[in-house]
Structure formats: C-alpha cells, structure tokens
Amino acid sequence: MVTKAKKLLLPIETIFKELTSNILLFSSRIFVILRFSSSRILSPVIKCFISYPKNRPDTIKRIPIRIELGPKDVDGGKIILVRRDTGEKMEVQFTSYESTVVSELDNIHNDMFANAKKILDERTATLETYDEFKSELEKGMLIKAPICNNPSCEEKIKEDTGADIRVIPDDCEDVNSKCIYCDDQSKIRPLFARGY
C-alpha cells in the first residue's frame, strides 16, 4: 500500500537554533510550493534527528519520495530527493525541484508497475493438463487454465489441490480449449491459486 502522501519533508535538527529555524523556514517554502502545485504532502515540517532512519523508520514507510534538508543544502540552494524504491539520492536545485518531484513520482509509479508486472509474468503458468496444473501449483505458481461452466469442476479442483479461481481477467474468454478438470468445452481461462 502506498500512502496518500506522496512526499515527506524531513528537516534535520541541529544543535544550533539559528540553523534549525533557517531549515524550517526553507522547508516551509518547499511545502507551500508543493501544496499549491496540487501535490499531496504529509506535513509541512516533521522534525527528525540526523539518524532518523534508525529512530523513526515508521515515519518514512510508504512515502515514495523523501526530501532531505540540512544546513549545507539550505546554503547551497538545493535539496536532496531520495527515492524509496531504489534508495537513489538526487541533488536538485531549489529552482527546479517541483518539476523534478513530479517527474520522479511518475518514474517511481512506472518502475514499480513494471517490476510488479515482471514478477506476475514470471510467477504465472499457462497450462492445458491437470497433471501440469498440480505440479506447477506445488511450486507456488499462479495458474492460467481453461475451465467449463460447471461449478462442480472448480469445487473438485479446490478439494484436490486447495486452489480456486482468484482472478477472472477481462480477456479470459476461451472457447477453443477443454476444461482442465473434465475435458468438456471450456468457457473461460481464469487464474487459479491457493489461498493462504
């Protein structure tokens, strides 16, 4: 699950109050700009110590982009963007961070979708026989197999293997194959899996 917030600002606390207030002012400016660009953001200011990953792991869970600020960043007019999915850090000038954040959110979405699709494709087997079905199911695969309209076939498959229909995709019509269980004319080719 990805949180509703898309970015998290983490100003780094320092022992010098003057530096801290400067960082907080800078982070507030970033928040205002991101807020008015129709972006959702968790909080204008979340104070954390320099070792926040150890002290506050709950703070950064499910946030796709973390924006880091420190005294040197403020002085240099830049921010650090950190992608959650890869851990990649990018130095971005304050003048161009808004467009970079938006493009990186799109990149994260596309990369995560491509990775999930790759895993799904690798873990899905398209089969025609019941013996193959049982064998691949033991390997933990998601099985794409033809089945007829008779509800008892699905019930018997579930009794025998513990697997049942998990997903019926939009393009699953299959009238050219035989039911994986009874060899009657199939109607659809859904995805079977065991429930855990």
Three-state DSSP class for 87? coil
Q: Which residue in the block uniquely carries the two structure tokens 């403020």?
A: 74
Q: Looking at the structure, do residues 35 and 108 belong to the same domain, yes or no?
A: yes
Helix pair angle (97-122, 17-35), 10° resolution: 70
Q: Looking at the structure, do residues 30 and 111 belong to the same domain, yes or no?
A: yes
* Average pLDDT along the chain: 78
The amino acid at residue 115 is N
**Tell me, what CATH number does 152's domain have?**
3.30.110.30
Stated length of the chain: 196
Contacts of 2 (CB under 8 A, 6+ apart): 62, 64
Q: Looking at the structure, do residues 18 and 99 belong to the same domain, yes or no?
A: yes
Q: Looking at the structure, do residues 180 and 137 belong to the same domain, yes or no?
A: yes
Q: Looking at the structure, do residues 73 and 141 belong to the same domain, yes or no?
A: no
Q: Looking at the structure, do residues 99 and 160 belong to the same domain, yes or no?
A: no
The pTM of the full predicted model, rounded to 2 decimals, is: 0.64
Q: Which residues of the chain have pLDDT under 50?
A: 1-3, 14-16, 38-55
Q: Looking at the structure, do residues 159 and 104 belong to the same domain, yes or no?
A: no
Q: Which residue range is the domain that position 137 belongs to?
A: 124-194
Confidence (pLDDT) at 64? 80
Q: Which of 65, 93, 120 is the last residue of a domain?
A: 120
Q: Looking at the structure, do residues 113 and 128 belong to the same domain, yes or no?
A: no
pLDDT digits (tens, 9 = 90+) for 56-77: 555 556 678 877 777 788 788 8
Q: Looking at the structure, do residues 38 and 116 belong to the same domain, yes or no?
A: yes
pLDDT digits (tens, 9 = 90+) for 105-126: 889 889 999 999 999 999 999 9
Q: Looking at the structure, do residues 111 and 31 belong to the same domain, yes or no?
A: yes
Q: Looking at the structure, do residues 135 and 100 belong to the same domain, yes or no?
A: no
**Tell me, what CATH number does 93's domain have?**
3.40.50.800
Residue 1, in any domain of the structure? no
Structural domains counted in the chain: 2
Q: Looking at the structure, do residues 97 and 139 belong to the same domain, yes or no?
A: no
Answer for the pair 102, 7: CB distance below 8 angstroms, yes or no.
no
Residue 2, in any domain of the structure? no
Measured torsion, CA atoms of residues 143, 148, 150, 153, in degrees rounded to the nearest 10: -30
